[in-house]
Structure 1
Amino acid sequence: MEKCFRTQLEAYLVHLQLAERSPATRRQYRGAILDFIEYLGGEPATKEVVIRYKNRLQKIYLPASVNAKLAALNGFFSFVGGDGLRVKQLKIQRQAYCPKERELTKAEYLRLVKTAQRRGDLRLSLLMQTICSTGIRVSELRFITAEAVRRGEALVQLKGKTRTVLIAGRMRSALQRYMRRAGIQAGPIFVSRAGRPLDRSNIWKMMRGLCRGAGVAAEKVFPHNLRHLFARCFYAADRDIAKLADILGHSNINTTRLYIVSTGQEHLRRMDALGLVV
């Protein structure tokens, strides 16, 4: 069984690639499935064994991580014709607020941008502003090209989906000035010295380098948090979650709801303001 699963795993990874799943997703799925194969230790895979493995995962990982691993296993089981091995994911109630230690505030974001500017790192400053002012995913940053800046909109094509990301006036002007200064005529704006689009790990590392100078906790500083900040600021100004979902490229509005949760402190202020305590 173990040898058979290992062989089928390689075929499944090819299947995921053809389905245009991201390299990060494929790595995550591969690790989760290999962990299960190791757990089997040559024992036949039965529904009872999978349930036992699920219970073991719950003792080790947070619920969201357990569900991610179960999603990988369930997909693999369906691929190999083992639908009878699939197990239910954990039910997780959506958290009503974001932990304060993880929420990047607008003031903190602006300090990060200004710190990059003081250090003369215009590229990093504009990169953060581009993500935060458009709500774009860091994986979509390569679609912010010289051509897109001139048009005022970027055509993003990923995972079989196509959407348009608008580049507003002030951001567009700032990028045009940068293009002239850097001599960028075509292709992605944010590239490495070798001319390749910057990837997530490089961007994260550069942003983390600003933390001490900006006085911002490192656990708050990562590219995707800029997208969350955009979502909260846009929703606070517009209060139209459907429009926000379109801008973010979400097909499910429940995903968008996760982006606009605020800290527990804001919930406490609103509860106190109800005037229900004498």
Structure 2
Amino acid sequence: MTTMFNLESLTQYEAYLHEEDRSPNTIQKYCHDISVFLVFSNTQELSKPLVLSFKEHLLSRYAPASVNSMLAAVNGFLTWLGVPQYKVKPLKIQRDIFSKPEKELTQREYQRLIATAEQRQNRKLALLIQTICSTGIRVSELQHITVSATHTGRTTVMCKGKTRTIFLPKELCRMLKRYCNEQEISSGCIFRSKSDKPLDRSNIWRMMKNLCKKANVSPDKVFPHNLRHLFARTYYKIEKDISRLADILGHSSINTTRMYTIETGRKHARQMDKMQLAYWIP
């Protein structure tokens, strides 16, 4: 059995994803990945060999994790089309038990970013960084940090069809209140653009990348999600409670949370050195 698919079917699938109440970011990602597959197919009839060929094409251009992410989008589309037999298996990827030191943002670097933002009189950015890192929220959830949230010490967000409460530390609330008074922000979202709209992902990304150069912190370490990772590592180091951390981060699976708490391996290396089981033989 062969099946044709085109832009019209992709448009219909996008409408289906909206009906399923998928998040805008998820829909955008899926449609992008399926569009890549559509271009690759070049009007060929849809078949299992074509999908396998697409998988090989991705392997030559993307990292394994990205390949699996794109295949997941295409597999979902194939199921919706009624041809699940054309789906392909994802790559088997061994989970890293240690993080890469060159990617891990340290607390000292985090503090340097904040200090540099303050020195450059960019209090909005200094507070934005602290808000993400001290609460563990996703950058897409930043719009829920409102004036009223600074008074209650909490806010409610909905992400991926789930609702959860985010708590704001008392010191963060105090700083945000003062900032709102200075900027005459009396209600609504705190972190806004010049057009008075909530800052979007691209705005925040650009602001952070510009800051890291001034703070002498590697650009590879400075992005919103890495602040969320720093929150997770710091929380777990103190509490050692992976289940509660998963609830705070809004993860459905503890396995996802474990990826946030992996270390670089420096501690393991130091412990092995202390064992002194390797001897120098003259």
TM-score, reference length from structure 1: 0.94
Matched residue, 2:229:
228
Deviation track 1:125-172 (CA, whole Å, cap 9, x = no partner) reads 111001110101110011110111110101112332111001111111
**Counterpart mapping for 1:1-278 below 5 A:** 4-278=5-279
Deviation at 1:2, TM superposition (A): 8.5
CA contact (8 A) 1:2 1:37 kept: no
| Mean Cα deviation higher: 72-81 or 59-68 | 59-68
> The residue matched to 1:156 in structure 2 has which SS?
strand
CA contact (8 A) 1:2 1:42 kept: no
Deviation at 1:26, TM superposition (A): 2.5
Q: How big is the alpha-carbon RMSD for the aligned residues of Structure 1 and Structure 2? A: 1.7
CA contact (8 A) 2:157 2:164 kept: yes
Distance in 2, Cα, partners of 1:162 & 1:149: 19
Distance in 2, Cα, partners of 1:261 & 1:248: 15
| Mean Cα deviation higher: 81-90 or 56-65 | 56-65
Distance in 2, Cα, partners of 1:208 & 1:239: 32
Deviation at 1:3, TM superposition (A): 6.3
Deviation at 1:193, TM superposition (A): 1.6
| Mean Cα deviation higher: 15-24 or 247-256 | 15-24
Deviation at 1:241, TM superposition (A): 0.8
Which amino acid in structure 1 is aligned with residue 100 of structure 2?
A: P
Query: Runs in 1 of length 4+ with deviation above 4 angstroms?
Result: none
CA contact (8 A) 1:154 1:164 kept: yes
| Mean Cα deviation higher: 33-42 or 188-197 | 33-42
TM-score, reference length from structure 2: 0.93
Which amino acid in structure 2 is aligned with residue 87 of structure 1?
A: V
Deviation track 1:9-65 (CA, whole Å, cap 9, x = no partner) reads 111111122323333332322232222223223332221221222123222221101
The alpha-carbon distance between structure 1 residues 84 and 152, as it changes in their structure 2 partners (threshold 3 A), is: same
The count of residues paired between Structure 1 and Structure 2 equals 278
Identify unmatched segments of 5+ residues in structure 1.
none
Deviation at 1:110, TM superposition (A): 0.3
Identify unmatched segments of 5+ residues in structure 2.
none
* Percent of aligned positions that are identical: 47
Distance in 2, Cα, partners of 1:6 & 1:19: 20
CA contact (8 A) 2:5 2:46 kept: no
